[in-house]
Each structure stands twice: as structure tokens, then as C-alpha cells.
């Protein structure tokens, strides 16, 4: 057999309306639909170099140069499905690299599984709906299969065939909209998203109310906000949903503390800044960790960065981490 090789990249996505809780652990079926924005390919992404030839006797994976086991239900399920659908059974070599500091604690599983599924589908020349396969690797990975604004539909079927992602608006629909990522901590989170959401499903009385009575309407409202390029509405819905997700984390027993003191300071900074501007210019969202993703329009980026540098000065060694040297209270915004 001749050697075949493929190189692909997949970007990180940031959920504006969060996925939290599964109704089927094995198929990775969510309790609720979710909606995200996919970051630019050049910014935070995973790149895979994959190849196959006769010399390879077993599947192998390296992540950032280090060997990684493929022998887990999530990897096996992606590989098996891709092989079944393509009828290709040759062994594969996968070299996966993240272009952002791994120690920065940024969610990489979404980009990682999206990239794995897409690159192997290319290698196996498989042309079909791939987001449901990426979903089996990590739920949020299905949203990284598309650029722009992406909805992952909850679906109603028990086999998960209709629990797929699709692009709601393309990457060039709202070019003024920017996402700033503030790395608050480079520590690995103590409870993974998968374990955290399992615990919430078991113990949080609020999680089902959110999934059934709040998220469906919120998804409609945020789609309208995006279609109208209404920044205020987008930012408010995103902040409310992030806060509600963390309220569910607190409603979990034992509670899940993903935010830290610096995250709280960032939240205060955003509200204080908006108040001083007498309009909503900045929004935030936090996943299962203390790092902040800020939403802002291009014309305000410079001003916002100046405020962040003032409130959260970083030393040279820690240029990715703002959480170690903050000394100024967010109530003392600089003049702007």
C-alpha cells in the first residue's frame, strides 16, 4: 500500500449558551442545545498530521510530541465509526499539536477531537456528516466542525443521529465581533467537565429547569441578537448564561467551584466598565475553569486592553497568565 498523509487544523469554540449535562453518557447526548462561536483558525487551534502505510502495525497518537493512549471509549468510538463508515481498516499514525500553551489550561478537547475526526475522514476519503462522530469524542467538539456561529442541536432520537451541529451564521457575518481570552490560571482544573456535569445531573435540582424551560428560548433570542448584530443583547444573554451555568455548579453537591477571585474581579470589571460607558460594550463567559472569554467589538478593543493591562499587570515570565499579579481593584477603572 502506498503511504497516504493528510494535515488539517481545527479551531477552539467558545460556548455562548452552554452545554452542561448529558442524557446519555455513552452516546454523549446533551440535556440541552447549545450555541458557540468558533475562533479563527490561526488563533487557538489543533493541527493534526495523520498518515497510514504498511509499516504501521498499530494505531498511535502523540499530543504535542508525547505519546497518548487511544485505548479509551471516546477515541475507540470515533475510530470505529470512521472505519465502519469508510470501510477502511488500515492502522493510523496521528501527530496532534496545539498552537497555544498547553499549560494555559484552555479547553483543547473540542479542537482536538474535531481535528482527529476531520483529519481521519480526509485520510479515509469519507464524505458524510461528521459532527455526530466528533460529538462521541467530546460533546463540545461537534461545534468545532464549523466556523462562525454554531448550534449543537440536542436532538430527540435515542440513537443520537439528530444530535448534530450546524452553522447558524458564517465566520464573516459579524467581523467587528472579537473574542479576548484572559488566561487567569495555568493549573489543570480539579474536576473535569465530564465529571462535573455528571455530578450536576445527579444532584442539581435546577439543571432540568434550565435545560427544559430556559435554554430553548435563550437559543432563539441569541440567534435573533446575532442576526441583527445586536451587541448589547448578545453580550447580556451570554453573561446571563455563563452566570446560570456557574449557579448550577454551585447548586451541585459537592459544589463545583470553577471561578476564582480573579474571575470575579473580571466580572466586576466588565459590569463597571459598561456602567461607566452607559452602554454594554463588553461581555464575558467562563467555561469550567477560571479563564475568561470577553466579547467586544473591534472599535473598543484597544480601550478594553488598556484597562485589562492596568488592572491585571503581568510579569514577563507570566505573559499568558493574568491571575498572579493583580493588585488593583476593578472598581478603580482608569480614566478613558
CA separation, residue 113 to residues 100, 143, 233 (Å): 16, 11, 31
- Is 196 buried (19+), middle (13-18) or exposed (0-12) by CB count in 10 A? buried
Q: Which of 189, 211, 287, 293 binds ligand DP6 (CB under 6 A)?
A: 287
Could you tell me the smallest distance in angstroms from the CB atom of residue 311 to ligand DP6? 25
Q: In the beta sheet, which residues pair with residue 68?
A: 61
Task: Label the pairing between strands 93-98 and 60-63.
Answer: parallel
Of 23, 30, 22, 27, which is closest to residue 159 (Cα–Cα)? 27
Q: Which of residues 182-201 bind ligand DP6 (CB under 6 A)?
A: 193-194
Could you tell me the smallest distance in angstroms from the CB atom of residue 119 to ligand DP6? 19
Contact 152, 139 (CB under 8 A): yes
Quick count: other Cβ atoms within 10 Å of Cβ 145? 28
Could you tell me the smallest distance in angstroms from the CB atom of residue 226 to ligand DP6? 16
Q: How many helices (H) and strands (E) does the chain have?
A: 9, 14
Stretch that binds ligand DP6, among 16-24, 125-133, 172-180, 219-227 (CB under 6 A): 16-24
Q: Which is nearer to ligand DP6, 48 or 287 (CB)?
A: 287
How many residues bind ligand DP6, per CB under 6 A? 15
CB-nearest residue to ligand DP6: 139
Q: Which of 114, 288, 296, 311 binds ligand DP6 (CB under 6 A)?
A: 288
- Is 214 buried (19+), middle (13-18) or exposed (0-12) by CB count in 10 A? middle
Q: Which of residues 136-165 bind ligand DP6 (CB under 6 A)?
A: 138-140
Q: Which of 8, 10, 12, 18 binds ligand DP6 (CB under 6 A)?
A: 18
Helix (H) or strand (E) holding 66, with range, is strand 66-68
Q: In the beta sheet, which residues pair with residue 322?
A: none
Q: Is the dihedral of CA 259, 265, 268, 274 positive or negative?
A: negative
When asked if residue 109 is in the footprint of ligand DP6 (CB under 6 A), the reply is: yes
When asked if residue 52 is in the footprint of ligand DP6 (CB under 6 A), the reply is: no
Stretch that binds ligand DP6, among 13-21, 39-47, 95-103, 308-316 (CB under 6 A): 13-21
Q: Which is nearer to ligand DP6, 34 or 204 (CB)?
A: 34
Q: Which is nearer to ligand DP6, 92 or 287 (CB)?
A: 287
Q: Which is nearer to ligand DP6, 220 or 331 (CB)?
A: 220
Task: Encode burial over 286-297: b for 16+ CB neighbours within 10 A, e otherwise.
Answer: bbbbbbbbbbbb
Could you tell me the smallest distance in angstroms from the CB atom of residue 157 to ligand DP6? 18
When asked if residue 33 is in the footprint of ligand DP6 (CB under 6 A), the reply is: no
Stretch that binds ligand DP6, among 18-26, 168-176, 213-221, 247-255 (CB under 6 A): 18-26
Q: State the Cα–Cα distance between residues 266 and 311, nearest whole angstrom.
A: 9
Q: Which residues bind ligand DP6 (CB under 6 A)?
A: 15, 18-20, 28, 34, 107, 109, 138-140, 193-194, 287-288
Amino acid at each position: 500500500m502506498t503511504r497516504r498523509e493528510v494535515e488539517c487544523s481545527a479551531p477552539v469554540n467558545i460556548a455562548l449558551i452552554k452545554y452542561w449535562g448529558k442524557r446519555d453518557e455513552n452516546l454523549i447526548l446533551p440535556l440541552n442545545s447549545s450555541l458557540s462561536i468558533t475562533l479563527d483558525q490561526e488563533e487557538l487551534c489543533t493541527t493534526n498530521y495523520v498518515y497510514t502505510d504498511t509499516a504501521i502495525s498499530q494505531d498511535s497518537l502523540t499530543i504535542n510530541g508525547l505519546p497518548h493512549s487511544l485505548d479509551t471509549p471516546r477515541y475507540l468510538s470515533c475510530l470505529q465509526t470512521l472505519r465502519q463508515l469508510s470501510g477502511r481498516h488500515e492502522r493510523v499514525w496521528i501527530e496532534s499539536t496545539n498552537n497555544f500553551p498547553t499549560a494555559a489550561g484552555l479547553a483543547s478537547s473540542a479542537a482536538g477531537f474535531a481535528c482527529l475526526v476531520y483529519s481521519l475522514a480526509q485520510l479515509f476519503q469519507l464524505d458524510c456528516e461528521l459532527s455526530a462522530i466528533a460529538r462521541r469524542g467530546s460533546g463540545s467538539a461537534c461545534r468545532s466542525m464549523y466556523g462562525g456561529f454554531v448550534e449543537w442541536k440536542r436532538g430527540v432520537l435515542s440513537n443520537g443521529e439528530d444530535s448534530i451541529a450546524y452553522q447558524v451564521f458564517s465566520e464573516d457575518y459579524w467581523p467587528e465581533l472579537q473574542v479576548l481570552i484572559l488566561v487567569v490560571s495555568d493549573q489543570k482544573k480539579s474536576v473535569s467537565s465530564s465529571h462535573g456535569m455528571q455530578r450536576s445531573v445527579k444532584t442539581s435540582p435546577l439543571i432540568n429547569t434550565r435545560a427544559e424551560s430556559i435554554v430553548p428560548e435563550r437559543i432563539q433570542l441569541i440567534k435573533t441578537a446575532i442576526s441583527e448584530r445586536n451587541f448589547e443583547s448578545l453580550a447580556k444573554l451570554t453573561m446571563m448564561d455563563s452566570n446560570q451555568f456557574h449557579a448550577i455548579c454551585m447548586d451541585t453537591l459537592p459544589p463545583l467551584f470553577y471561578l476564582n477571585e480573579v474571575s470575579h474581579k473580571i466580572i466586576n470589571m466588565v459590569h463597571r466598565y459598561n456602567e461607566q460607558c452607559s452602554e454594554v460594550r463588553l461581555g464575558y463567559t467562563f467555561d469550567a475553569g477560571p479563564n475568561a472569554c470577553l466579547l467586544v467589538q473591534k472599535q473598543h478593543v484597544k480601550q478594553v486592553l488598556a484597562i485589562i493591562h492596568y488592572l491585571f499587570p503581568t510579569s514577563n515570565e507570566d505573559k499568558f497568565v493574568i491571575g498572579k499579579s493583580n493588585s488593583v481593584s476593578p472598581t478603580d477603572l482608569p480614566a478613558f
